Amino acid sequence: MAMACKSWLLRVIGWPLLLTLLASPFLLLQMGANGLVYRWYAPLWLLAALVGGQLLSIALQRLHVALSDTKLWRGNRLRRLSPMAKGWGQRLGGMALILLLLALPFLPGVGRYPIDLATSVLIYVLLGLGLTIVVGWAGLLDLGYVAFYALGAYGYALANQLWGLSFWWGLPFSALIAAVAALLVGLPVLRLRGDYLAIVTLGFAEMVRLVLINWQSVTGGPAGLGGIARPSLFGISFSNSPNAGQIAFHEWLGVEFSTLQRIVFLYLIILLLVGMVYGALRRLRRLPLGLAWEAVREDEVAAVSLGLNVTRLRLAAYMVGASLAGIAGCFFAARQGFISPESFTFNESVLVLAVVVLGGLGSQAGVVLAAMLLVLLPELLRDLADYRLLLFGAAIVWVMVKRPGGLIRQPRPDLLAAAQGRVGEEAS
Amino acid sequence: MPTAVFASIPNGFVLLGFWLVYLLPSSPLFQRVDGVHAVGCFWIMSLTLLYFCQQLLNGLTLGAVYALVAIGYTMVYGILGMINFAHGDIYMIGAFLGVLTLGVLTALGITAPWLVLPVMLVMACLITAGYGSAIERLAYRPLRGAPRLAPLITAIGVSIFLQNAVQQLQGARVQTLQPLFTSNLVLWQQPVAGQPDFTLAIGHSQLLIWGATLFCLACLSWLINRSSVGRAQRAVAQDLKMAAILGVPTDRVIGTTFVLGSALAAVAGVLVMIHYGVVDFMIGFNASLKAFAAAVLGGIGSLSGAVVGGLIIGLVEALWAGYLPGEYKDMAAFSLLILVLLVRPSGLFGRPEVSKV
């Protein structure tokens, strides 16, 4: 009892007090342009907020315990559902999500903003799926994934400006460029151990960004490249004044021109792309290539002794992942119509990696969930304006600590578990 | 620059002497700015050489700072096998604590450098160590035994949090400070025709950085190699599970590691703030990239490797900034890193990984 009381006190008073003490130099004092500014009240606010938060969380916990003790909730029904029913539940959820995504642009009252947001989410889903192959399946820690995204975007933008390449040819072209770059980087580098690979890929991404900023004559430098061609639908353009030889969509259909048409079209393109990639990866995972990737991730020595060519497998994962980033980059460039090195910073790599890890390493559905969370969360926090990113950082830590395996935990192949018939079940 | 090496050797050898007296001064390296060959007066150093020396001094300063930050990386990696991305922001926190302490002391009317400096260092070290320890408790300790990448993501979350917290609380503008030390130690003064003299000098703040770095490294090396805390740390780094079984309080040892690393980063932050006089909430990012590169270059997990790696990266960066297009300066560290890793895949001092079945 004494112990419990002590830990309770520590939780309600101890931690908040300690954290407030640590933060108080920054709260109390601010180095302004004209010397120090004092804010004696600020630590008190923080202390009050932290104590309040702890009390609230304890109350919620008590409530949860009390509820699950009552007859109604005893045994936590959801957990007692058979794995099959669970699978059906997941399948139903997935179906509902797909239907919602398909219907989103045609729902009444849905304006430009939600569709734009959904497009952003889908771009991150595409990037996340690509990185899932590299990090989740092949087990290669890549901190410079944004480099391939950037190469895809600039590849399409430049090819479009120089040779007038259209968006639909730009997609395979960008994928090819990114894959070739991945081959060139990967060949010497992939034999490095995991964390060494991380810093080298990070360095590669920084180099790509520096070249984009400084090679002004080609990339436009910090000002970026503009006037990138938008996608067209079999020669039907979505602009108000199409080029010669093109028909405008609104004239073709005989409706009023609106930018919303183009936004919906872009949304449908990325939805189609993501859908295709998602389906393809689901299959790929079960193919010998996907299984071999997992084998190499789990035990390299065993994989080699089974005759797998580890370097070639890793290179393949790296290239497939990179080509997906290239496709995403091409779409990004066509969507924005303007790209600059600003969009391809290290933070972007970090965000995509967070999508992959937060979703649950190797889980495709997890990528979708985590991308939604990580793109929508800052938007929802928009009202808090300045404190948006601060809370975002705290939220990442909180979610990760609460669910260390990610949102959707992916079962890892485990001989012991297989023998006991536990594969696929979540150990909670 | 092989000639720079020769210039430091006393001309005792006949051949070398001949070379030094007759050939070297007529080489472009020793050509005077006004175009007159200084034959026979080779002791007049050319501007090229002076410039090179100046870059070396700058590089050593930068390298000392990178080394201090890299040690924190490498210690945490050695024990937990985790890349602590928040370490760069710990360094930033240290620098800001230095700024705030300086502000308070100035407001109190205390400006004597010999008093201000130790107070700044101690305050920054203590509070930053508290930060390191708290971050470890809240963000990393709950994830022991989780997938290896999970703590990496929380580290990134912590880094985002700290950056934005400091930005909100201290403002986004670049903080500029009155330099504490303005005097220089002049090593060489070279008259230049029609221009002010070129001086090769070491700033007192540079001397301070070197001194403080050496002191910290000496303390750390004593702590790791001679004290019981260090012994426990080495044991945990070698085999965490085994150490725990043998009664080493692993959690406490890991906490100590974070405290030590954070204190060193705080020292680096305060020193950088004193030397360069500018601080903003983004400095952690660049420093963490460079320090991470330094730790990997030296072989991650090896303390001396981190120091050597930091010095090398600092030197290369300063030389690159001095001679090659400055816009690509940040590429120097990474190009070097990739080249070294291609030849030695586990870094300069790293032990090659042995795969056991």
Q: Where are the domains of chain A?
A: 2-29+37-67, 100-232+265-410
Does B230 lie in the same domain as B159?
yes
Instruction: Name all contacts of A220-227 with Cβ < 8 Å and 24+ positions apart.
Output: A220/A340, A222/A340, A222/A341, A222/A342, A223/A340, A224/A338, A224/A339, A224/A340, A224/A341, A224/A342, A225/A154, A225/A157, A225/A158, A225/A161, A225/A338, A225/A339, A225/A340, A226/A337, A226/A338, A227/A161, A227/A337, A227/A338
Task: Give the span between the Cα atoms of B126 and B167, in whole angstroms.
Answer: 22
Domain boundary among B260, B283, B306: B283
Q: What residues form DSSP beta bridges with B175?
A: B279
| B270 found inside a domain | yes
SS3 B43: coil
* Spatial distance between the Cα atoms of B335 and A89, rounded to a whole number of angstroms: 51
Token pair of B16, please?
A: 């070398």
Give the closest of A193, A353, A358 to B353, CB-based.
Answer: A193
Specify the pLDDT at position B309.
Answer: 93
Predicted pLDDT of residue B51: 83
| Range A296-309 average pLDDT | 86
Q: Do A394 and B152 touch (CB under 8 A)?
A: no
| Final residue before a domain boundary, out of B235, B259, B283 | B283
DSSP E strands: which ranges in A223-347? 225-226, 236-237, 247-248, 338-339
**Amino acid at site B263:** A
Residue B168: per-residue pLDDT: 86
Asked if A397's CB is within 8 angstroms of B157's CB, the reply is yes
Same domain, B21 and B138: no
B149 and A193 within 8 Å at the Cβ level: the answer is no
Greatest mean pLDDT among A162-166, A245-249, B43-47, B104-108 lies in B104-108
Tens digit of pLDDT for each residue in A121-151? 999 999 999 999 998 888 888 888 999 999 9
**Predicted pLDDT at A322:** 94
Q: What is the pLDDT of residue A428?
A: 33
Closest Cβ opposite residue B130 in set A22, A204, A395: A22
Place of tokens 């502000």: B103
Residues of chain B with Cβ-Cβ distance to A203 below 8 Å are 293, 333-335, 337-338
Per-residue pLDDT, averaged over A98-122, amounts to: 83
**pLDDT category, A106, cuts 50, 70, 90?**
confident
Question: Please, are residues B281 and B287 in contact by the beta-carbon 8 Å criterion?
Answer: no
Residue B319 in any domain: the answer is no
How far is residue A368's CA from residue A372's CA, in Å, rounded to a whole number?
Answer: 6
- Rounded to whole angstroms, how far apart are CA atoms A371 and B95? 35
Between A199, A301, A361, which is nearest B355 by CB?
A301
Contact: B335, A207; criterion CB under 8 Å: yes
Is residue A75 predicted with pLDDT exceeding 80? Answer: no
CB contact under 8 A, B334 and A206: yes
Which of B85, B101, B149 to mutate to probe the A interface, most A CBs <10 Å? B149
Using a CB-CB cut-off of 8 Å, the residues of chain A touching B106 are 35
Helix B283-298 / helix B303-323 crossing angle, nearest 10 deg: 120
pLDDT value of position A413 = 60
Cα separation, B248 vs B256, in Å, equals 13
Q: Does one domain contain both B109 and B234?
A: yes
Is residue B275 within 8 A of residue B78, CB to CB? The reply is no
**A42: which residues sit within 8 A by CB, 6+ positions away?**
A24, A27, A28
Whole domain around residue B7: which residue ranges?
A: 1-44
Count of alpha carbons within 13 angstroms of residue A381, beta-carbon side: 16
* Poorest-pLDDT segment among A124-138, A181-195, A268-282, B125-139: A181-195
Of A63-67, A207-211, B101-105, B313-317, the least confident: A63-67
Instruction: Flag whether B273 is in a domain.
Output: yes
Cross-chain Cβ contact B153/A400 below 8 Å: yes
Query: A195 vs B149: CB contact, 8 Å cut-off?
Result: no
Query: Which one, of A45, A389, A397, lies nearest residue B164 by Cα?
Result: A389
What's the pLDDT score for residue B9? 42
Q: What is the mean pLDDT of residues A211-215?
A: 86
Residue type, B337: L
Asked which of A173-177, A268-272, B73-77, B320-324 is least confident by mean pLDDT, the reply is B320-324
Q: Closest partner residue to A206 among B143, B325, B330, by Cβ? A: B330
Q: Is there a single domain that holds both residue B108 and residue B207?
A: yes
Successive 10-residue mean pLDDT values, chain B, 357 residues: 43 51 54 44 63 88 93 88 89 92 87 87 94 92 83 88 89 80 76 73 86 92 91 90 91 93 94 88 86 88 90 91 78 83 81 60
Whether residue B117 is contained in a domain is answered as: yes
Tens-place pLDDT, residues A21-49: 888 888 888 877 777 788 888 888 888 98
DSSP A382-394: GGGGGGHHHHHHH
Cβ atoms of B292 and B332 closer than 8 Å: no
- Distance in angstroms (rounded) separating the CA atoms of residues A186 and B14: 52
Q: CB A400 to CB B357 under 8 A? A: no
Residue A336, phi then psi, degrees to nearest 5 = -75, -35
- Of the residues B237, B256, B283, the one at which a domain ends: B283
| B153: chain A residues, CB-CB within 8 Å | 353-354, 357-358, 396, 400
At residue A415, the pLDDT reads: 52
Number of domains chain B contains? 2
Check pLDDT > 70 for residue A341.
yes
pLDDT at B45: 60
User: In a mutagenesis test of the A interface, which of B296, B330, B351 is the best target, namely the one with the most A β-carbons within 10 Å?
Assistant: B296
- What is the tens place of the pLDDT at every residue in A362-395? 888 888 988 988 888 888 877 766 777 788 888 8
- The pLDDT of residue B232 is 93
The CATH class given to the A100-232+265-410 domain equals mainly alpha
Whether B100 maps to a domain, the answer reads yes
Report the largest interatomic distance among the alpha carbons of chain B, rounded to a whole angstrom.
75
- For residue B143, the 8-state DSSP code is G
